[in-house]
Chain A
Amino acid sequence: MDRLESSSSDLDRPSIDEYLAADSVQCSPKKLHLRDLIDISPALTEAAGSIIDDSFTRCFKSNPPERWNWNVYLFPLWCLGAVIRYGILFPVRVAVLAAGWIFFFSAFFPVHFLLTGHDKWRRKIQRKLVEMMCSIFVASWTGVVKYHGPRPSMRPQQVFVANHTSMIDFIILEQMTAFAVIMQKHPGWVGFIQKSILESVGCIWFNRTESKDREIVARKLREHTQGADNNPLLIFPEGTCVNNQYTVMFKKGAFELGCAVCPVAIKYNKVFVDAFWNSKKQSFTMHLVRLMTSWAVVCDVWYLEPQYLRPGETPIEFAERVRDMIAVRAGLKKVPWDGYLKYYRPSPKLTERKQQNFAESVLQRLEEK
């Protein structure tokens, strides 16, 4: 909780104050009566409203695919489909994935250790290998990905930002271009891959809960964008997976690097499977199994036009502008919440803001005697 109070994160929340402030009190400057003071219905209504439905948890609700198999006539068909998906597709996909890994490792580690003298070559081969491995991953869930817009090129002074639904976002983008990504540190086999392989394409890891990591990451980011032959940088500024129907607040870090921001919008089609990774309920392995037992993962990726900080624009306004673009392109609804509220409580400042409004209206109306 205290970490949220650090000076940098105060500036991190843009529109939320305006969003929350106006509703709880309607201040009409008339004389104050007992009934006005006792009537706490606006605050109660608001509280009940948030209990019944709130815009934050809606962002992280996984949506089960449309159910259609409970019709007697369709049920055998569905069963047949399930047998094919689990009995044939899944083993084949596992085999493809395993073969891919074997090939990858038998190529990657020799290159990694033997070509130490030829840095340029080593990097190039490793880059290609990572791209290949990601293509195999995409193939393992029969990824039907449509890319729109010009493919990213390797240039200094640019950073790509995308909306975030699952770790597979990264795989889908990586198979086209070897991005260096900023990611949360993961445990288990994902963590092993992060440390051993993805480091070679310049990925940067951090731990959400470590406030010290923030500064280190900010410094590394700056250094990375300056290097001419570094892989393009990819950031998921939401900082957490959202269910691809909403978009939560963008963290401003990517927008104050002083370089071109290239928005990437990713929209999944839920026709076969919901690609949202609910990391609190499911491990990444189980998430992959779910994808691999579905017919296909269908998605659209749009590379949008690079944006620059306009004169007089703050990084926060810039971030909101880019979020608008992505939200419009991918058809996402915007909510003003910080995605990290999944892990922290909201700052008491928001409550204080409401209290201030109420107190001011009381004091003001008292003077109107």
Chain B
Amino acid sequence: MGNTSSMLTQYDIEEVQQHCNHAFSQQEIVSLYHRFCQLDRNSCGFISGDEFLSVPEFAVNPLSQRLLRMLDGLNFKEFVAFLSAFSSRTTLQQKIEFIFKVYDLDCNGKVTFNDILSVLRDLTGSFMTEQQRQKVLIHVLEEAGYTKDSSLVLSDFLKILGHSDLKMEVEVPID
């Protein structure tokens, strides 16, 4: 009988828990594992971009293409680590680090004007012109004391977002 939860031993679960800094309880990890197996249709140990896009709610997300570049080919451990940013046990700082990573796709530790612009492009599509986007971005950057040429590092992000009421939590359903 297809009892997939038995395929995860206590050791496996603990290992995954450690990998994600105990952001999820053991039951939540078992739930996530079921979900992972469900999405990994051809059971090859990772979820392909195509399989992620077969979830319509994900596919219609404006940031889906960008997130896919982070998600493509993750194994279960990495998958859980990715999602740990959305746990209620994760600190605000870790959540902001995650957002920073979404901006910093080339992973050089710096977010430039163009990086922010390209996220804004994903979010607004054809409903803002390129000029409008640049104008808006320069405006808010200057208001916050930066310029078009300054590149933001993680500590800038922590400063900018640290005081906002960032709500980034997703509950894992446990059955």
Contacts and interface: CB of A to CB of B under 8 A. Distances in A.
Contacts of B38: 57, 61
B106 interface: no
Given A47-B58, A48-B83, A64-B2, A41 B168 contact: yes
Contacts of B170: 45, 48-49, 52
Given A39-B161, A44-B168, A45-B168, A52 B56 contact: no
Contact of B62 (A33, A61, A337, A358): A358
B172 interface: yes
B164 A35 contact: yes
Interface string A271-299: 00000000010000000000000000000
A56 B52 CA distance: 13
Interface stretch (A255-263, A313-321, A324-332, A343-351): A343-351
B8 interface: no
Q: Among B64, B136, B170, B172, find the residue whose CB has the most chain A CB atoms closer than 10 A.
A: B170
Contacts of A56: 55-57
Contacts of B127: 352, 355-356, 358-360
B27 interface: no
Given A33-B140, A40-B123, A359-B127, A48 B86 contact: yes
A63 to B, nearest CB: 10
B99 interface: yes
A365 to B, nearest CB: 9
Q: Among A34, A39, A57, A346, find the residue whose CB has the most chain B CB atoms closer than 10 A.
A: A34
A56 B55 CA distance: 7
A52 B168 contact: no
A52 B32 contact: yes
Given A51-B52, A56-B57, A345-B59, A38 B116 contact: yes
B81 interface: no
Interface residues on A, range: 35 or more
Contacts of A41: 95, 99, 166-168
B160 A40 contact: no
B120 interface: yes
Contact of B166 (A39, A48, A49, A341): A39
Interface in B114-135: 116, 119-120, 123-128, 132
B153 interface: no
A362 B55 CA distance: 28
Nearest to B139: A366
Given A38-B160, A43-B123, A355-B125, A350 B60 contact: yes
Contacts of B56: 54, 56, 337, 341, 345-346
B137 interface: yes
Contacts of B124: 355, 358-359, 362
Nearest to A345: B59
Contacts of A360: 127
A53 B1 contact: no
Contacts of B173: 52-53
Contacts of B136: 32, 37, 362-363, 366
Interface in A19-44: 20, 32-41, 43-44
B102 interface: yes
B107 to A, nearest CB: 18
Nearest to A38: B160
B128 A363 contact: yes
B149 interface: no
Contacts of B169: 45
A118 interface: no
A48 B124 CA distance: 20
A52 B172 CA distance: 7
B59 A346 contact: yes
A124 interface: no
A34 B58 contact: no
A43 B65 CA distance: 12
A46 interface: yes
A369 to B, nearest CB: 9
Contacts of B59: 345-346
B145 to A, nearest CB: 9
Interface in B135-175: 136-137, 139-141, 143-144, 146, 157, 160-161, 164, 166-170, 172-173
Interface of B: 1-3, 32, 35, 38-39, 41, 52-64, 67, 71, 83, 85-86, 95, 98-99, 102-103, 116, 119-120, 123-128, 132, 136-137, 139-141, 143-144, 146, 157, 160-161, 164, 166-170, 172-173
Nearest first, the 7 A-B pairs at minimum CB distance are A355-B125, A359-B127, A50-B57, A34-B144, A359-B124, A350-B60, A50-B58
Given A33-B144, A40-B102, A48-B86, 8 more contacts: A20-B57, A43-B61, A44-B102, A46-B57, A51-B52, A56-B57, A57-B38, A341-B56
16 contacts: A20-B60, A35-B144, A37-B120, A41-B167, A44-B86, A44-B168, A47-B67, A48-B83, A49-B57, A51-B58, A54-B56, A67-B3, A346-B59, A346-B60, A350-B60, A351-B125
